Chains A and B, each alone.
Chain A
């Protein structure tokens, strides 16, 4: 009977957009993806290293949070510091992404912010009093980041120049500027010796606490800004529909410029924290590609700083933990990047099952 229509079969599976999945269920799927990813990493690690499946997790936990080796510093602070920096960059790109402006330039904006701060630390160190120099370093970093961020926005607003590609290009221009500066200052040695003038004050003996506190404040600020401020509301409207924004009289170009300035400024903060807060030096690898990881933090956290904090923590946990597992077993430390990549890909992929449902077609004719 069905021979005539041999060449046209009914589609085997059929994909339909879901009405709406309850938030609890949606998060259930996401957590499921994370668990799956973590299990996968554990499995691969234990195959590669010969460690027992559960020992792998023990190493990860102790490597991230505990004192794995006698006499070494508690790793927890390092974990919080790394999370803070990644989160800070995520907070920077979140407003831009919420506006549907693909700021792939967090890396460069942070580097330029750090570079400007470094410049002040070196140039005015010893010449200006510290109480004046530190705020100057902070301000200059923020302004430099904002400028680097607003340049692509100007072209986007004026001529609709593709911002993804524009911001990507600006990353590498920033990298080269730093290479140039490092060479000048370092006198050909490719390193700038740590400069302590103009550095952020250390609270107590805790090297990272200042950074962590600043990012914690920033997290709350960005949360409030996006959710409760008029400007945050404008960002949401522009991101959802530029037509609606125009209809209610929002100046879309102004919002784009302002938001990118903010995005760049927060990147500048991240760069400043790295340079004036931790490293007291700069090189082309200071941000270390975290500007890109931050995009995933913002995306996976749905631009909500609270969820983003968890995402940043998760990524740093995986990265540090997997690196520790690799380290102890003479594997290459890049195992960490693979682990993070696997979990992110799973998380990005699982969104599909939240938005769509897959239905199998009932074979009516008994096919």
Chain B
């Protein structure tokens, strides 16, 4: 059962990890993007639309579907949706210098609406009896696991039984860590988030960095939505099912102290905490609801501790949430 618990926690953690990695990249450029929950919805529905269209184009027959296209098309449509939303956010906050919090919240309203609108419309289109749309054929290909995973017992179940997007999430988080800490681009990006005036004076194109970081961050976060639908939910989209995971991803950023590598561990812990209620013996359903509060409580404690200790390396990027205009006097 422990094996199942860990395996399940990993599965739960992946959308959070995507969201958190995306948000970290964005926040490192000085943007507190509260639109991430909406963008994750956008990424999810983008993938669903792509998969839906491809499944229909193949006449809903699994044997007609090319596995590579089955993965590539939803992947691209998902990224397209989330990058477009990231572009809206960047355009509003960087070019039009709108308030980041308000823009982000509006984008979340918009994104959740977008997801539910297209989702709901697709449900109506297939005239399903259930309020959901199932893309099981696509999901099956997304969830393809290593053929020998089953033969390796607990090791296989914990480490090898997941879908490729789960491994990609960890890889992306590690790559993001590497880029942030070990490359010139990462150094420049961190400088933009810490002190844009300094970065600007050093010849860094602050606007470009903010745009690109936000859009890449959005794409990564959107993949979290895609992974949720295709792997966690077995290709079944139903409105509002994604829930509050976007906000939990933002919480995770704080928990991880703005480090993607820490977010891997944090996401696993969050996944475990979300999941623990099902595995702790003798819990009533009511206590399970209280259990679900744990990730937020833990995040709050981390937030308080970091503000208490004031260690400079553990603080949010210094100019987080502030607009930058070179000629402001």
Tell me, yes or no, whether A and B come into direct contact in the complex with CB atoms closer than 8 A.
yes
Given A165-B303, A168-B250, A180 contacting B289 (CB threshold 8 A): yes
- A169–B296 touching, CB < 8 Å: yes
- A332–B105 touching, CB < 8 Å: no
* Residues of B with C-beta under 8 A to A292: 105, 108-109
* Residues of A with C-beta under 8 A to B111: 341
- B307–A345 touching, CB < 8 Å: no
Which residues 182-222 of B sit at the A interface, judged by CB distance below 8 A?
A: none
Q: How far is the CA of A361 from the CA of B228 in the complex (A)?
A: 49
- A331–B117 touching, CB < 8 Å: yes
- Determine if A173 is an interface residue (Cβ-Cβ < 8 Å): yes
Tell me the total A-B contact number using a CB cutoff of 8 A. Answer: 163
Closest 7 CB pairs of A and B: A337-B113, A341-B110, A332-B120, A334-B116, A352-B96, A161-B307, A176-B293
- B286–A342 touching, CB < 8 Å: no
Q: How far is the CA of A356 from the CA of B97 in the complex (A)?
A: 10
* Residues of A with C-beta under 8 A to B119: 332
Provide the B293-308 mask, 1 if CB < 8 A to any CB of A, else 0: 1001101100110011
Which residues 320-367 of A sit at the B interface, judged by CB distance below 8 A?
A: 330-338, 340-342, 344-345, 348-349, 351-352, 355-356
- A188–B285 touching, CB < 8 Å: yes
A50 shortest CB reach to chain B, Å: 14
- B98–A173 touching, CB < 8 Å: no
* Residues of B with C-beta under 8 A to A160: 307
A36 shortest CB reach to chain B, Å: 14
Choose from A159, A173, A334 the contact partner of B297 (Cβ within 8 Å): A173
Choose from B32, B102, B118 the contact partner of A295 (Cβ within 8 Å): B102
Provide the A137-166 mask, 1 if CB < 8 A to any CB of B, else 0: 000000000000000000100011110111
Most A C-beta atoms less than 10 A away, residue of B117, B121, B248: B117
- Determine if A91 is an interface residue (Cβ-Cβ < 8 Å): no
- A161–B293 touching, CB < 8 Å: no
* Residues of A with C-beta under 8 A to B121: 331-332
* Residues of B with C-beta under 8 A to A352: 95-98
* Closest residue of B by beta carbon distance from A175: B244
B137 shortest CB reach to chain A, Å: 24
Q: How far is the CA of A355 from the CA of B316 in the complex (A)?
A: 29
Most A C-beta atoms less than 10 A away, residue of B88, B239, B307: B307
- B109–A17 touching, CB < 8 Å: no
Chain B residue total in the interface (Cβ 8 A): 59
- B247–A168 touching, CB < 8 Å: yes
Q: How far is the CA of A170 from the CA of B307 in the complex (A)?
A: 17
- A332–B116 touching, CB < 8 Å: yes
- Determine if B292 is an interface residue (Cβ-Cβ < 8 Å): yes
- B96–A349 touching, CB < 8 Å: yes
- Determine if B99 is an interface residue (Cβ-Cβ < 8 Å): yes
- Determine if B290 is an interface residue (Cβ-Cβ < 8 Å): yes
Interface of B is mostly: helix
Q: How far is the CA of A159 from the CA of B296 in the complex (A)?
A: 19
Q: How far is the CA of A11 from the CA of B99 in the complex (A)?
A: 25
| Chain A contact residues, CB within 8 Å of chain B | 15-17, 102, 104, 155, 159-162, 164-166, 168-173, 175-177, 179-180, 183-184, 188, 289, 292-293, 295-296, 299, 330-338, 340-342, 344-345, 348-349, 351-352, 355-356
* Closest residue of B by beta carbon distance from A293: B109
Given A164-B32, A345-B88, A345-B103, A338 contacting B110 (CB threshold 8 A): yes
* Residues of B with C-beta under 8 A to A180: 286-287, 289-290
* Residues of B with C-beta under 8 A to A155: 304, 307
- Determine if B132 is an interface residue (Cβ-Cβ < 8 Å): no
A168 shortest CB reach to chain B, Å: 6
* Residues of A with C-beta under 8 A to B99: 299, 348
Provide the B131-159 mask, 1 if CB < 8 A to any CB of A, else 0: 00000000000000000000000000000
Q: How far is the CA of A160 from the CA of B110 in the complex (A)?
A: 31
* Closest residue of A by beta carbon distance from B88: A345
7 A-B pairs within 8 Å (CB atoms) are namely A168-B34, A183-B286, A188-B285, A337-B110, A338-B113, A348-B103, A348-B106
Choose from B34, B96, B307, B328 the contact partner of A159 (Cβ within 8 Å): B307
- B250–A165 touching, CB < 8 Å: yes
B254 shortest CB reach to chain A, Å: 6
- Determine if B107 is an interface residue (Cβ-Cβ < 8 Å): yes
B244 shortest CB reach to chain A, Å: 6
- A102–B101 touching, CB < 8 Å: yes
* Closest residue of B by beta carbon distance from A178: B289
Q: How far is the CA of A332 from the CA of B237 in the complex (A)?
A: 14
- A333–B286 touching, CB < 8 Å: no
* Closest residue of B by beta carbon distance from A186: B286
Most B C-beta atoms less than 10 A away, residue of A173, A299, A352: A173
- B101–A344 touching, CB < 8 Å: no
- A332–B124 touching, CB < 8 Å: yes
- A162–B316 touching, CB < 8 Å: yes
- B289–A334 touching, CB < 8 Å: no
Known: A332-B117, A341-B107. 11 other contacts (CB 8 A): A166-B300, A166-B303, A169-B296, A169-B300, A176-B290, A332-B120, A334-B114, A336-B113, A338-B117, A348-B102, A352-B95
Most A C-beta atoms less than 10 A away, residue of B32, B105, B285, B308: B105
Q: How far is the CA of A172 from the CA of B270 in the complex (A)?
A: 14
- Determine if B327 is an interface residue (Cβ-Cβ < 8 Å): yes
* Residues of A with C-beta under 8 A to B316: 162
